[in-house]
Homo-oligomer: A and B are copies of this chain.
Amino acid sequence: MNATATIALEDRLRIDELYARYAACLDDGRFAEWPDFFTDECTYRIVPRENYDRGLPLATLSFESKGMLRDRVYAITETLFHEPYYQRHLVSGILAEPDDGGFRVRANYLVIRTKAGSLSEVYSAGRYLDHIVDDAGTLRFREKLCIFDSELIPNSLIYPL
A interface vs B, CB < 8 Å?
1-3, 5-6, 9-10, 12-14, 17-21, 23-24, 27, 49, 86, 88-95, 106-108, 110, 112, 114, 116-127, 137-139, 148-152
Whether A150 lies near B88 (C-beta < 8 A) is no
Copies in the complex: 3
How far does the alpha carbon of A19 sit from the alpha carbon of B19 in the complex, in Å? Answer: 18
Cβ of A146 to closest chain B Cβ, rounded Å: 13
Contact partner of A152 (CB less than 8 A), chosen from B86, B92, B118, is B118
Whether B24 lies near A95 (C-beta < 8 A) is yes
How far does the alpha carbon of A19 sit from the alpha carbon of B92 in the complex, in Å? Answer: 10
Whether B149 lies near A88 (C-beta < 8 A) is yes
Given the interface pairs A89-B108, A152-B117, the reply to whether A5 lies near B14 with Cβ below 8 Å is yes
Complex contacts, A107 vs chain B, CB 8 Å? 20
